[in-house]
A and B are shown apart, each in its own frame.
Chain A
Amino acid sequence: MGMKTQASKNRYPQDKYCLEAEGVTKNFLLGKRRVVALDDFSARVKEGIVTGLIGPDGAGKTTFMRLVVGLLVPDKGRVTCLGMDSTRDFLQVQTAVGYMPQRFGLYEDLTVQENLDLYADLQGVPRRARPSRYRELMKMTGLGPFTGRLAGRLSGGMKQKLGLACTLIKPPALLILDEPTVGVDPLSRRELWHIVYRQVEEEGMSVLLSTSYLDEAERCQDVILIHEGHFLGQDKPNVFSKALEGHSFMLTPYGGDKRRLQEVLSERPEVIDALILGEKVRLVTVDAMEPQEVKRQLQVGVEFDVHGVEPRFEDAFITLLKKKRESEGRPMVQRAISPSRVAGSRDEEVIVVKDLKRRFGNFYAVKGISFRVKRGEIFGLLGANGAGKSTTFRMLCGLLPASEGELKVAGHNLRRARAKARARIGYMAQRFSLYGGLTTYQNLRFFSSAYGLKGRRQAERIGWALESFDLSNLKDARSGTLPLGYKQRLALAVALMHEPEILFLDEPTSGVDPLARREFWHHINALAEANVTVMVTTHFMEEAEYCDRMVIMSQGEILAAGTPEEMKARFRTPENPNPTMEDAFIALIEMHGQEGSA
């Protein structure tokens, strides 16, 4: 495969670079453990384009950006930014660069205008130049009507746009954005990208932008891939995906046994990646082949229809990661968690929600929603931050009483028999609420005791968890110091200790690396196979594709319900024959005349 992982140096011989990193190494001490954030990392950023720094959480993206602006000092190697040494001349670098940290420093008790004034003062923008610059920025960000509002009262998307406006108040030569789109609804995300590109096109600005969303890589003009502190590759995004031309397929199983098909396929040596998407399975193979060859070579006992599809950036990233791991002698092993089967018919409705409302003061966070979930289904609750999905979720888990409406989980009315219903459900909270000070083993023991397991049964379940989630080696490690992927595994193990028949997952995989996400969904599919009902909330459009059925929520209401395929099919147009889930989501929000960011 022609992927250039090394020789990125003279790809653009006539190009100028605004940023060059050579052999940068940076270590941190985490407790007593030494963590390598960057390991001999080299990359160059070209002038006048948008370069993406792409990698999962904990890959070293933030460390790299902080090194560039001189907030950190490298242990080894050097970073040159706009011709200046980032370590030695960091004061000059900071003056020339516009840097927007991940949690941008908006003062929440200051208004939009006061925040702008502060950054204009700090950047030394002359007073005469301000009114026109403000007007320009407000028009670009759409924040004009909100200049008197406190920044703390803005939505996540508006906050990010204000942060960007503050960073751009004096147009910098190089704009560095650390995960600007995290926690931002799809509509605002699009607007942010639009603003970034305007800077490049109209001002000739250079941009370095980090993200853990792989679908955003395709919006960059050049991407640097980073994983576990290592440089994985750098090129134009379509070069990465082009290299996989002929490797990607969409399989439609006859009889709808998509889970079995996916499971068997992912164990075959010819297969790099097999992923459930709605009713279909997306396949990436090691070698390029014709669709007919796929059918012939991969006889897996499940009949399917196959056609070739455009490779995505994510396919390339997964391929790179897997090859790297194999070359390091630690290939991915899919472990089976072999859950025990939950009795009951798959037609039984285990979650029934009817006219559910939740009021906080005068404000209805949930305005009368209804849906039903059958046993063994994976059901998604999709929506931007503030759509009301977390509130709905908390009511379903019995953490928050409903104001009005019917709410039945596992046959128990949650408004009356909350404790009974709760014993039948497992809950994995956002950011994995584990006790960071306890070891892996102690967390397992604590949570299993909390669910009433004891004696032999408890020992058995702990043994099962350590074995099936490959946590035995980390039994005595403090869970707070575990890498994100392991925390996620442990959190899932903890939620499954008492073998619940319904599993609630709150934003389960945002930010974890794509391999860990696949492993996670592999387990979730196995659970669904065993009749466990799974309910997922997410603002992450891709994750929604793994669901059997879903609802899209906005401002406390359900805008649409159906399978992922149905959702996307509704918005198929001649101009956009293959809409993504994000396209569907944005179209829905716009159709309902709601401003996604308000």
Chain B
Amino acid sequence: MKRRRPRAPGGGISMMRLKGLVKKESYQIIRDPSSIGIAFVLPVVLLFIFGYGVSLDAQHVPMAMVIDKPDQATYDFVSGFGQSEYFSPVIMNNIQEAEEALIQRRIDGIVWLRGNFGRALLSTGNAPIGVIVNGVDANQARITIGYVTGVWIKWLGRFSMEKGRPLDIPAKVDYRIWFNAAVRSRNFLVPGLIAVIMTLIGAMLTAMVIAREWERGTMEALIVSPVKIQEILLGKVIPYFVLGMGGMALSVAMAIFIFHVPLRGSFLALTGGSALFMLTAIFMGLLISQAAGSQFVAGQIAIVVTFLPAFMLSGFVFDIGSMPRAIQWLTHLVAARYFVSILQSIFLAGDIWPIFFSNCLWLVVMGTVFILIIRRKAKKRLE
């Protein structure tokens, strides 16, 4: 027989092998409903939940109005509350009844106009009101107090204008809200959510599909073929990169056209930043799959080390600046943090290059570290 003495499979990457692997992976993605589910159905569901269901704004907060001595001024004040979209006022007869209602959680707060409200208003032009708010949800309570104060000051201003008297309060607040003029939390949540979704597609899907190859024994046959380890890795990265960017495009389209989140920056920056993050997320997935032996373990690790931190430590919902110092340090290890920052600035502010590039730099550093570890650990061996 012919004695074949093959040379080491040296040299560069073989396009034929790489194409074969990418094609195989693509067929698997198309035929596996769970990949399509994670890449396209999950973003839609999450965006709808966060876009419509979860809101950090106070809207139609049920408030009890207790008026000790009704008169023209109090009537005017209460109707001012009624017009605000933030509140649904309920008139109550006395403070005891209102407190009872608060305890039963029928209302979230009480506005109490004491007997001297009308007199103080007429004599000094400044009439104090009493506000009691359910503080269980501190965030909501703070927002409610802010809104009550806003309504009150606005009403006082209008009242004194009508009376032709300057308002006699220590300082007049005149505020403007930048970047999100309507103070819609959706504008802020949706871009952050895109980062979470992409973490899920990149890290979790990639980690699981490689673990699946080990579990089903396909990896053993793969690594004893002349394929090179770089080709196996690239064969995973390319299809999932395309899939992830597809999910990204879908999410962005939904953000703009369904939730009307403004996109103030450029598409170029958005695409560039997303591509960089997508790669970092996929590298995380590859790394996890190397550590995990089974799909189940890979999925669990991916949730704990990528998805949950992306949710809680990325600044997507909870402001990093108000976290304890130690946790703030920890957030530097969460790749999603940099991407959330990139996305929020591109959507709400525009191309702010210093922010963009500093965050990109961090992503490049993380991605490089990941890929170096992966290359060191990836072997065409079973041990």
Residues of A within 8 A of B (CB): 47-48, 66, 69-73, 82-83, 89-92, 94-97, 99-110, 114, 117-124, 163, 166, 173, 203-205
Would B1 and A71 count as touching, CB distance under 8 A? no
Q: For A102, what are the chain B residues with a Cβ–Cβ distance below 8 Å?
A: 217
B217 and A91 contact, CB distance less than 8 A: no
Docked complex Cα distance between A173 and B3 (Å)? 8
A119 touching B217, Cβ below 8 Å:
no
Q: Are A100 and B381 in contact (CB under 8 A)?
A: no
* A163 CA to B382 CA, complexed, in Å: 20
Asked whether B90 is an interface residue with its Cβ less than 8 Å from the other chain, the reply is no
Determine whether the beta carbon of B9 is less than 8 Å from that of A95. yes
CB of B219 to closest CB in A, whole Å: 7
CB pair B217–A71 under 8 Å, yes or no, is no
Kindly state whether residue B7 has any CB partner on chain A within 8 Å: yes
Shortest Cβ distance from residue B89 to the other chain A in the assembled complex, whole angstroms:
60
Q: Which of B4, B7, B20, B380 contacts A173 (CB 8 A)?
A: B4
Find the B residue at minimum CB distance from A205.
Answer: B1
Known: A92-B8, A94-B380. 13 other contacts (CB 8 A): A47-B1, A71-B381, A94-B226, A96-B6, A103-B220, A105-B220, A105-B221, A109-B31, A117-B20, A122-B21, A122-B222, A122-B227, A173-B3
- Given the interface contacts A97-B224, A122-B20, does A105 sit within 8 Å of B216 by beta carbon? yes
Scan B1-23; emit 1 where CB is below 8 A from any A CB, else 0: 10111111100001011011101
CB pair B28–A71 under 8 Å, yes or no, is no
Q: How far is the CA of A71 from the CA of B221 in the complex (A)?
A: 11
Which residues of B sit under 8 angstroms from A120, Cβ to Cβ? 20
- Which A residues touch B23, using CB under 8 A? 114, 117-118, 121
The one of B3, B8, B32, B221 that contacts A104, using a Cβ cutoff of 8 Å: B221
Q: Dominant SS at the B interface? A: loop
B223 at the interface (CB under 8 A from A): yes
Cα A496 to Cα B220 with chains together (Å): 40
Report whether A104 and B6 are in contact in the complex, using a CB–CB cutoff of 8 Å. no
The answer to whether residues A92 and B7 also contact, given A103-B217, A119-B225 and a CB cut-off of 8 A, is yes
Q: Chain B 26-41, CB within 8 Å of chain A: the 1/0 string?
A: 0110011000000000
A-B contact count (CB 8 A): 114
**B71 contacts the other chain (Cβ, under 8 Å)?**
no
Residues of B within 8 A of A (CB): 1, 3-9, 14, 16-17, 19-21, 23-24, 27-28, 31-32, 213, 216-227, 380-383
Residues from chain B with Cβ under 8 Å of A114 in the complex = 23-24, 27
B27 touches which of A70, A106, A110, A166 (Cβ 8 Å): A110
Q: Is the CB of A89 within 8 A of B217?
A: no
Establish whether residues A118 and B382, one from each chain, have CB atoms under 8 Å apart when the complex forms. no
Whether A107 and B5, one on each chain, are in contact in the complex, defined by CB atoms closer than 8 angstroms, is no
The smallest beta-carbon distance between A533 and chain B, in angstroms, is 39
Asked if A122 contacts B17 (CB within 8 A), the reply is yes
B1 touches A100 (CB 8 A): no
A99 to B9, CA, bound (A): 17
Contact B17 A89 (CB under 8 A): no
**Which of A70, A90, A110, A122 contacts B225, CB < 8 Å?**
A122
Please give the distance in Å from B2's CB to the nearest CB on chain A: 8
A4 to B51, CA, bound (A): 78
17 A-B pairs whose Cβ atoms sit less than 8 Å apart in the complex: A70-B381, A71-B224, A71-B380, A71-B381, A72-B382, A72-B383, A91-B380, A94-B380, A100-B221, A101-B224, A104-B221, A105-B217, A105-B222, A118-B21, A118-B24, A119-B225, A122-B226
Q: Are A109 and B27 in contact (CB under 8 A)?
A: yes
**Assembled-state Cα–Cα distance A89/B8 (Å):** 8
A66 touches B8 (CB 8 A): no
Q: B28, A95: Cβ atoms under 8 Å?
A: no
Cross-interface CB contact of B381 among A72, A106, A109, A118, cutoff 8 Å: A72
Q: Which residue of A70, A89, A109 is within 8 Å of B28 (Cβ)?
A: A109
Complex partner residue of A103 from B6, B21, B24, B216, CB under 8 angstroms = B216
Determine how close the nearest CB of chain A comes to the CB of B201; give it in whole angstroms.
Answer: 19
CB distance from A46 to the nearest CB of B (A): 13
